[in-house]
Structure 1
Amino acid sequence: MSPEPTTPLISVDELAVRLQDPGPVVLADVRWTLGGPPGQPEYEAGHLPGAHWVDLEHELSGPVTGAGGRHPLPAADVLAAALSRIGVRTEVTVVVYDAATSLAAARLWWLLVDAGHPDVRVLDGGFAAWQRAGHPVETGPDRGAPAGDFVPRPGQLGRVDATGLADLLGSGTPVVDVRAAERFTGATEPYDPVAGHIPGAVNRPSPQNQTPEGRFRPAAEIAERFAGLDEPVLYCGSGITAAHTLLALRSAGLDGRIYPGSWSDWVSDASRPVATGPA
């Protein structure tokens, strides 16, 4: 079994060297854009050699039912089937990536770590960084892989649901909203029926954890952004970006918990309180 990595990130040059080693690595391409278009055509137009396509909407999310938000967590058997399909094994490193920002890749990273996989890395800068570095690219459909033997056991990482978060409000536990500032204040809300934020939350937009090229900022800078927010509960619109911020925290040696349903789940019950304006 591979030892738990000291950082969840891997650079393109480090990965290029790793792929020259005869030891196996599972590469998962999770390119995705909120609202579409689907990322599979991008994958087929060019991806890391040997990488397997993973569909965030259908394999890494469950059906929208009202509760659970816009991207509910997938059923355990759906996740298990997806991981088996791409050949995930317990003793094999899994490297996940997306187009550039690691936003979608963070979803699979979180699901894998939460399910108990010991060695999951995210390609810092994604496919764009791989291309800029001049590393080889493969085209065409997914070539498939021998079925993996990893059995996911979700629930290994800290998380809270709406009831648990409501109980925490006012307790001193930091709650961090990682959406854009205009969504936090309630000035605009393009996706959900109610604008605003959870009362008592502070705003730390997730994109500010990265450079314009999609690389995560140094650990010291991320730690400074979250100074005084010890092991916060993280939420976003539907849970995807919250995982991205947890990835940033882990890259800086920090930790937190995710509210997977996030804002879209919180506002599905009109009895839950909503705040607007600055924190």
Structure 2
Amino acid sequence: MNAIITAPELASDLAGPNPPVLLDVRWQLGGPNLRDEYEKAHIPGAVFVDLDSELAGPAGAAGRHPLPDLDVFGSAMRAAGVSADRDVVVYDGGQGWAAARAWWLLGYSGHPSVRVLDGGFAAWNGPVSSERPAPEPGSFAPAPGARPLLDADGAAALARTGVLLDARAGERYRGEVEPIDPVGGHIPGAVSAPTTENVETDGRFLPAAELADRFKSLGAGATSEVGVYCGSGVSGAHEVLALAVAGIPAALYVGSWSEWSRDGSRPVAVGPDPQ
């Protein structure tokens, strides 16, 4: 199944006999969640999910958005109506990062059929609602491990033996600026691959063939061992999604730079060269 779905395709599925569960994961980096925006208008039937409290654990030594407690995550998914035998579609405001985090986490936890609305809520031109739905509780039980996951040691090793992509902005990779984490730079051996270059100006993904060509130029192909990290495992999930659209499987280092840079024993590279 394709990892993304267009707005017309979603409208068709919602009108069909087995509509997907809809999750609204609108979110802003460094700010409060966007539940207020959800309350004003959302795709009918969508349930709001809070990235910071339901798709991530508390910030700390493991990073700013570590994996959530599985009981918390599973409970939130069941309350939203998620079951393993029913399709799920996730959307955010349009950037796609938060929706990709939900897509990755559900897939990592064993859900077989999750897609992201390409272009997010901004791409939706169908009806909207301000009513909060009351879905029948789902039965989804997270079973982690269905998608590859990297820890810090694994990311360091992959940067030497495979392809480790850094999804952050180029200036953060090079260490020229670091607005969030303790130090700028990148994991030695990682290749700069800003996730913003995977999408059009409206937030929709580039065509699969163009994405495949982009990643091939960075050394990442369908037969490569590929991993991704970012600042805290959110935009990195979006890059893993872009790789999936291109037909390239990839592991995610969830702790990402926010974990790596907190450990003074970890080496840091600066400048445009991977090493």
Q: Give your verdict on TM over 0.5.
A: yes
Q: Structure 2 unaligned segments of length 5 or more: list them.
A: none
Is residue 7 of structure 2 the alignment partner of residue 17 of structure 1?
Answer: no
Tell me what 2:201 maps to: 212
Q: Secondary structure at the match of 2:21?
A: strand
The 8 Å contact of residues 61 and 72 in structure 1, kept in 2 or not, is answered as: yes
Aligned to 2:127: 136
1:144 Cα deviation (Å)? 2.3
Structure 2 residue aligned with 1:52 = 47
Once the 2 structures are TM-superposed, how far is the Cα of residue 169 of structure 1 from its aligned partner?
Answer: 4.1
Residue 233 of structure 1 and its aligned partner are, at CA, apart by: 1.1
The 5-angstrom pairing of residues 85-164 of structure 1 reads 85-130=79-124, 134-140=125-131, 142-164=132-154
Higher mean alpha-carbon deviation, 181-190 vs 150-159, is at 150-159
Preserved CA contact (<8 Å) 2:156 2:188: no
> Structure 1, unaligned stretches of length 5 or more?
none
CA-atom RMSD, angstroms?
1.1
Asked whether 1:71 is paired with 2:60, we answer no
For residue 68 of structure 2, what is the amino acid of its counterpart? P
Task: Say if 2:158 and 2:227, in contact at 8 Å, map to a contact too.
Answer: no
TM-score norm. by structure 1 comes to 0.94
For residues 155 and 167 of structure 2, the distance between their equivalents in structure 1, rounded to whole angstroms, comes to 16
**1:224 aligns to 2:213 (yes or no):** yes
Q: 2:270 aligns with which of 261, 273, 276?
A: 276
1:18 alignment partner AA: D
User: CA offsets per residue over residues 142-175 of structure 1, 9 Å max, x none?
Assistant: 322111111110111111101222334433x111
Q: What is the SS of the residue equivalent to 2:58? A: coil
Identity of aligned residues (%): 52
4+ residue stretches of structure 1 with deviation over 6 A? none
In 1, Cα distance between equivalents of 2:17 and 2:239 = 33
Q: 1: distance between equivalents of 2:157 and 2:110?
A: 27
* Counterparts of 1:210 and 1:45, CA distance in 2: 27
CA contact (8 A) 2:148 2:252 kept: yes
Q: Once the two structures are superposed, what CA deviation does each residue of 1:104-147 show, in whole Å capped at 9, x if it has no partner? A: 000000011111111101100110000xxx3101114x322111
Q: Is the 8 A contact 1:174 1:233 kept in 2?
A: yes
| CA distance in structure 2 between the partners assigned to 1:157 and 1:170 by the alignment | 21
Contact 1:157 1:257 in 2 (8 A): yes
DSSP-derived class of the 1:27 partner: strand
Q: Work out whether 1:247 is the aligned partner of 2:238.
A: no
The letter of the residue matching 1:183 is R
